[in-house]
Amino acid sequence: MTWTPTGRHLIAGEWVEGATTFASDPARGAPARYAVGTAAEVDRAVKAAEEAFWSYGYSSRENRAAFLEAIADAMEARAAAITAIGSAETGLPEARLDGERGRTTGQLRLFASHIRDGAYLDRRHDAALPDRKPAPRPDLKLVQRPIGPVGVFGASNFPLAFSTAGGDTASALAAGCPVVVKGHSGHPGTGEIVAEAILEAIEKTGQHPGVFSLVQSNSREAGQSLVAHPLIKAVGFTGSLGGGRALFDIACSRPEPIPFFGELGSVNPVFVLPEAAQARAAEIAKAWAASLTLGVGQFCTNPGVLVIADGAPAERFEEEASAALGATGPATMLTTGIAEAFGRGAAKMAAGNAVRTVTRGVCELRSVAPALFATDGDTFLANPDLGEEVFGPLGMIVRARDAVQMLEIAKGLHGQLTVTLQMDEGDTDLARRMMPVLERKAGRLLANGFPTGVEVVDSMMHGGPYPASTFASATSVGTLAIRRFLRPVSFQNMPEALLPEDLR
């Protein structure tokens, strides 16, 4: 299938030109021009979403499930074209895009199955007790209901699974919430072809056209307008700490504050406990290097900090990690801006006092090679900026004095998406002491693995305490993600005919 982008927004079923345009920055091929969304386009899209909510928000679960499955089908029908433009724009290998497309359509079908099951509704009923003394009890029923139009921001590092029809969009649509997506300027063509698939599904299943809109933009105006719009009731965001925090502040300062579900950054520390270090230092080092460089380090679960007790095992670990990273050649990053930010972050780290450069990362235009640094536990604890994320294949080895300092480092961590323990049986007592600390620091705890794989299942938690995310109780992956876009409503002594269909 040959496909050529139009460069337009999709707003309430219509392809809309922009008054101004911006040029894309593809890894391969010629740039294309795309409309620059303004507050006016956002307003039109959000008002259409509000109008769609009066029908879509009160539609049957079967209707919404069929819609989600139709989106998945339409994306699969465009599989080759989606992979081609996604790879050209981002530089990601075609095999990676094929897998990510499968994850995206799998998410859509998973949520279809999830809402058909109905358990997510958390239906409760306390029957009336008319004879209770001293006062009778009314009949009370409770069910989860959709909150209204949702704004979603496309992510740079997942042009499919965390963008136009990604997890935020899928879970919001499953809940019954129309969606307005602010497309990511790093892959606008990918956003457009997926929006085309969603429009086909809208028409096939007879949805209100305002149920989904895509507003393209390379400026802040569209994103800020989306978060500030009074008809938007929640926002899903995956991106940088600085950009996400600015939008979070807008969401909180509105006349009607709304939940902002932002995933903002994490270094996903790995603790190599003493017995494991003694027995498997070289093996763990090679596996860590592979995880650190997977996808050129452009995963939100990239394990950027590793803590190990000082000594001979730490020496072996550093040697093996350095060799493995040194053998990894330069690779293309998602955008020129991301590559430049990686170069600045690596240079800043190299200039730091008491930080050794083990492997100096190379950054040339959009191509980067891994960087590895090392420091001691005292320096790491005294310099919180050493624990800040540098997006890309950059690792920091922290040599703690002993197990006591490893626990101190754990207590000093900021909020994380993940924390990993590399441990053997003899490390169990130390791991047991660390667990209460680590549980307060991250949304997902791992043993003897690496966090760069995120399963899309019922039990997945992809979130964590700030700054990993802005809402520590919410996940953006797995079926629990639907809860972000629902709210409980109680009905007291309500006639059967007036109850929501799911309570009758």
Name the catalytic one among 51, 196, 300, 320.
300
Long-range pairs for 499-503: beta carbons < 8 A, 24 or more residues apart: 499/141, 500/58, 500/143, 500/145, 501/60, 502/61, 502/118, 502/121, 502/123, 502/143, 503/123, 503/141, 503/143
Furthest-apart CA atoms within the chain: distance in Å: 79
What is the spatial distance between Cα 487 and Cα 492, in angstroms, rounded to a whole number? 16
| Residue spans of beta strands (DSSP E) within 414-472 | 416-422, 442-447
Do 42 and 222 contact (CB within 8 A), yes or no?
Answer: yes
DSSP per-residue letters across 45-81: HHHHHHHHHHHHTTS-HHHHHHHHHHHHHHHHHTHHH
* Cα–Cα distance for residue pair 462/319, rounded to 1 Å: 32
* Active-site residue flag, 252: no
* Burial call 453-480: b when 16+ CB within 10 Å, e when fewer: ebebeeebbbbbbebbbbbeebbbbbbb
End-to-end CA distance of the chain: 47
The residues, any chain, with a CB within 8 Å of residue 504's CB and separated by 6 or more, are: 496
Residues 397, 416: Cα–Cα separation, whole Å: 17
**Among 51, 196, 263, 389, which one carries the catalytic annotation?**
263
All residues at 6 or more sequence positions from 482 whose CB lies less than 8 Å from its CB, including other chains: 111, 114, 115, 120, 171, 174, 175
Task: Output the CA–CA distances (angstroms, integers) from residue 77 to 105, 253, 336, in the order listed.
Answer: 11, 43, 31
Pairwise CA distance, residues 118 & 421, whole Å: 36
Active site residue 263: yes
What is the rounded CA–CA span in Å between residue 66 and residue 205?
A: 7
Report whether 169 contacts 158 (CB < 8 A). no
Q: Which residue has the tokens 């029809």?
A: 165
Say whether 394 sits in a helix, a strand or coil: strand
Q: Which amino acid is it at 197?
A: A
Sign for the pseudo-dihedral over CA of 388, 186, 92, 475: positive
Q: Who contacts 405 (Cβ-Cβ below 8 Å, separation ≥6)? A: 377
Contact 295, 304 (CB under 8 A): no
Catalytic residues: 263, 300
